[in-house]
Amino acid sequence: MTLIAILIATLAAGIGSVWLAAGLMRLGFIARGDEGPSHLGPHHLLSLAAGALLATSFMHLLPEAFESQTGPKALFATLLVGVVFFFLLDKAELWHHGHEHHREEADADAHGHVHGHHHAPPLRSGGWAVLTGDSVHCFGDGILIASAFVADMRLGLVAALAVLAHEVPHHIGDLAVLRLSSPNRSAALVKVSLAGAVTALGGVTGWWLVDRLHDYLPYFLVVASSSFIYVALADLIPQLQRRLSARETATQVAWLLLGIGLVTLVSNLAHQH
């Protein structure tokens, strides 16, 4: 039963977030900038995702981990190591992408490819880089969701919701990159959906690992928390730290609180049932 729930939740979070992102783009709800009050801007989704991730970590995953017999010092050390690990992973990815970008520019200059249409090959390789990185990221998300489900069904639902919330703005960026490298929108959607489906593979792997390493479940939950906290504080919130009007700031805070509220609501509903 737990494995079935994990499969459903990981597919909903992995593929569902891609389709939701594509639907928002197709319907015109996502504005490229501040195009007017009728549009849902990317910063609104970022605020929602940040709130959902922080609420999941501090209100659900960490309390569940600390209710175990594991010592708080060991769990705090795991949290610290997890945050530092995801920071180093982020730095390695940035360095790799920057290195590839500079090498492509050098190759283009060496061959005299300095005009618009000659930049198509780098865009295509960038698209594959996006898909590869997205697949690895989704695999990790699946493991985190599985860890939460093994601990408690309610935690699993909350973790899946948090992943769904933070993957929507991420997949909007992925789709935008792939549409630059290929005019075929359907192909871009299929590719990103396949990358999202890797979440289910991560879920099965996580279920198999956690089920056999049950004594280490509190550590898995803390690592999941460190991932969510790092994404929220290092990736999402910095993109929101810009000078805004009082009205825009209030809207931003409202979406952040909405993310926290949605996670809390889903948690309470799951607990009641």
Q: Is residue 170 part of a domain?
A: yes
Torsion of CA 30, 33, 187, 130, to 10 degrees: -120
Q: Is residue 238 part of a domain?
A: yes
Q: Is residue 58 part of a domain?
A: yes
Domain that holds residue 230: 2-28+41-111+120-272
Gap between the terminal Cα atoms of the chain: 16
Q: Tens digit of pLDDT for each residue in 116-134?
A: 333 333 334 446 666 776 7
Query: How many domains are there within the chain?
Result: 1
Cα–Cα distance measured from residue 138 to residue 266, given in angstroms and rounded to the nearest whole number: 22
- What pLDDT score was predicted for residue 7? 93
Q: How confident is the model at residue 32 (pLDDT cuts 50, 70, 90)?
A: very low
Can you list the alpha helix ranges (DSSP code H) found in the chain?
2-27, 42-56, 62-66, 72-110, 120-151, 153-181, 185-212, 217-230, 237-240, 246-272
The stretch 52-60 carries a mean pLDDT of: 84
Q: Is residue 146 part of a domain?
A: yes
Name the residue with higher pLDDT: 177 or 24. Answer: 24
The stretch 161-190 carries a mean pLDDT of: 76
Q: Is 221 helix (H, G, I), strand (E, B) or coil?
A: helix
Residue 142 near residue 200, CB atoms below 8 Å: yes
Residue 262 near residue 161, CB atoms below 8 Å: yes
Q: How confident is the model at residue 11 (pLDDT cuts 50, 70, 90)?
A: very high
Q: Is residue 36 part of a domain?
A: no
Name the residue with higher pLDDT: 101 or 145. Answer: 145
Cα–Cα distance measured from residue 18 to residue 13, given in angstroms and rounded to the nearest whole number: 9
Q: Given a cut of 90, is residue 23 above it in pLDDT?
A: no
Q: Return the top range by mean pLDDT from 12-21, 158-167, 263-272.
A: 12-21
- What pLDDT score was predicted for residue 120? 34
Q: Tens digit of pLDDT for each residue in 213-271?
A: 778 888 888 888 888 888 888 877 887 777 778 888 888 889 889 888 887 777 666 55
Q: Is residue 33 part of a domain?
A: no
Q: Is residue 35 part of a domain?
A: no
- What pLDDT score was predicted for residue 114? 38
Q: Given a cut of 50, is residue 50 above it in pLDDT?
A: yes
Mean residue pLDDT across the chain: 77
Q: Is residue 34 part of a domain?
A: no
